[in-house]
Amino acid sequence: MEHQHHQHNMTETAAYENGHYGMDHQHMGHGGHNHNAMIADFRKRFYVVLILTVPILLLSHMIQQWLQVQISFSGSQYLLFLLSTVVFVYGGWPFLTGWFSEMKAKNPDMMTLIGFAITVAYGYSAATVFGLNGMDFFWELTTLILIMLLGHWIEMRSVAGASRELELLVQLMPSTAHLIKDDGTTDVKTETLKESDLILIKPGEKIAADGLVEEGDSYLNESMLTGESKPVQKTRGQKVIAGSVNGNGSLKVRVTHSGKDSYLFKVVDLVRSAQEAKSNTQLLADKAARWLTIIALLAGIATFVTWISLGHDIAFAMERMVTVIVICCPHALGLAVPLVVAKSTSLSAQHGLLIKNRTAFENSRRITSVVFDKTGTLTKGKFEVSRIVTIGEQPSNEDELIRLAGALEANSKHPIATGIISEVKKRNLALPHVEDFKAITGKGVAGVAEGKHVKIVSPGYLKENNLQLPPDYSATGNETVVFVLINDQPAGFVALADAIRPESADAIATLHDNNIKSILLTGDNKQVAESVSTQLKMDGFFAEVLPHEKLEKIKELQQKNEFVAMTGDGVNDAPALAQADIGIAVGSGSDIAAETAGIVLVNSNPKDIVNLILFGKATYRKMIQNLAWATGYNIITIPLAAGILYNQGILLSPAIGAVLMTVSTVVVAINAGLLKVQS
């Protein structure tokens, strides 16, 4: 199916086929125009046909019999023919051109059915005006076209709703930016910004480009981009993402990515290509729609032949045929999956779940094991002080001990030092001045503070120097301990641990509720791995695994028939992510090019992984519900349209057929619209 259909017909056909439904392939910001024009076109055609329907109904014999009125004058049937011709050509135009395009593409579908049905009805009715014996059914033709136009108009609005979330993402980008130059600030178009430009962000404005804060302090709302609802504080040197909303402070930002390379643009492109990509479910639905088209034409012709052979007149047989063909339209079926796809991709993007591979996302319902790469996913990925214990007389309290430790560690960038310093800040303590600072190679640091000789050393240093380890000293599984010596005597110790994220336990519990195993994979030692795994009640762990061995561990699980999802950071875990049935790159929001992962999570929150799996299941459920509805409805309505209950007095007119078809399509659209991400 080539892309050129869009330009020469006003139909939805090619759009459904591609799963784009009018979200055309132009770049950001233009996507909706074409679609809106199509909606307006259908609306206009509907109203014109609505006005013409009144005289057509009044001039029709059948309606006159029902209303028991007589409207007849010389040439009245020619006026009826003329008005109906206008309805057929003007109202039927989108369907007729659509039929032509489908035939040209050798791809018969919905428009073929509608085009064929209205042409047969019109051709036969026109023949009766010019001498063929029989009843015309111009009024059926008119009401059929009227309802098809209304149905299309309603349904295209639903479709537009499904792709509106993408438009919302597009609109996050402000159109202008305040560029700072030597002679003041000028307003420029956002797309003209270049790397290393300096821009001003005023309070309440949207950030115009990815960059680093050079000056100022403010809280930013990034929820639309990362799904993180709490405002994030940004100060000098920190990254900001285009499209996030500034709080009360003013910021000067040095641009790092020009518009086209910004995070937001990449997300929009990613969402768009994911919406356009076909997953296995979509291909299945396409195949079903193709078959339904063939069945509709065959069922229509069979209905016609049957009624003629039973001795009914051509008009009756033809009306049955037209009704069967219209009701059989695979409209709902053609939309069942694309609508859910559009909704799910854009919704997930707003919640910080970026789908790169549709099939991987739909397969998330099959996951039986999730392998977590520990650092930074289940844990915070940075050392925090977990215990401070004092020994002996001096220092007298925890504050004093951590203050002296902090004084020595103030110059170091080591993770342990960072953990100690953040504890000092938390306690609002002032650090004493340090003299004679020196590092004890491989063992710790030493210096003089407030006249005391202070050392911070590992437990190994105490053993080597025959110093007594305190009786209450024992490092739990995931703790790292450093001792503080004052004048060469142990004064206490500080235990630090990579703290487990508060959301981790909930996430693992929810996985268990869904019968999914959770397994820890880490380069850390066995003690740490066991401690984290036990604390979180996980199903197992692999410890001391080197990066290149991760792949093997995934394979081992797959050999036990597990359907494995692996979470990793997308860079050093690339081979393992590629090997896993579903690779989920975590915390690489800024680097969407986590090439090997099928899904990228912007935040490192383990709850996002659970949300992703549950959302994958919900999405798949919606698709199946829609497919079941779209096919089940046909199984029931086709025999009714063919006239199986004719002897019981139940007969559907073409217009009723069109109403039922429209209703089934709208049900599918509404059902897709109900899709939500749990959070």
- Based on the residue annotation, tell me whether 373 is a catalytic residue of this protein: yes
Helix, strand, coil tally for the chain in percent (to 5): 50, 20, 30
Query: How many residues are present in the chain?
Result: 679
Is there a contact between 622 and 361 (Cβ–Cβ < 8 Å)?
no
Beta strand segments in 407-465, E? 434-440, 444-449, 452-457
List strands edge to edge, sheet with 452-457.
379-390, 489-500, 479-486, 452-457, 444-449, 434-440
Distance in angstroms (rounded) separating the CA atoms of residues 639 and 655 = 16
Is there a contact between 127 and 89 (Cβ–Cβ < 8 Å)?
no
Q: Name the helix (H) or strand (E) containing 670.
A: helix 654-673
Could you give the angle at the alpha carbon of 498 between the alpha carbons of 495 and 504, nearest 5°?
Answer: 135
Q: Is the dihedral of CA 154, 156, 158, 164 positive or negative?
A: negative
Residue with tokens 């059914």: 137
Name which of 217, 207, 150, 110 is nearest 659 in CA terms.
150
Question: What phi-psi label fits residue 316: left (phi over 0), alpha (psi between -120 and 50 degrees) or beta?
Answer: alpha
Q: Which amino acid is at 234?
A: K
Helical spans, DSSP H, in 355-503: 358-363, 398-409, 415-426, 459-464
Is there a contact between 253 and 144 (Cβ–Cβ < 8 Å)?
no
Distance in angstroms (rounded) separating the CA atoms of residues 134 and 464 = 112
β-pairing verdict for 517-521 and 540-542: parallel
- Catalytic member of 109, 197, 210, 373: 373
The two three-digit tokens of residue 459, written as one number? 């437990």
Distance in angstroms (rounded) separating the CA atoms of residues 456 and 491 = 10
Q: Which residues are catalytic?
A: 373
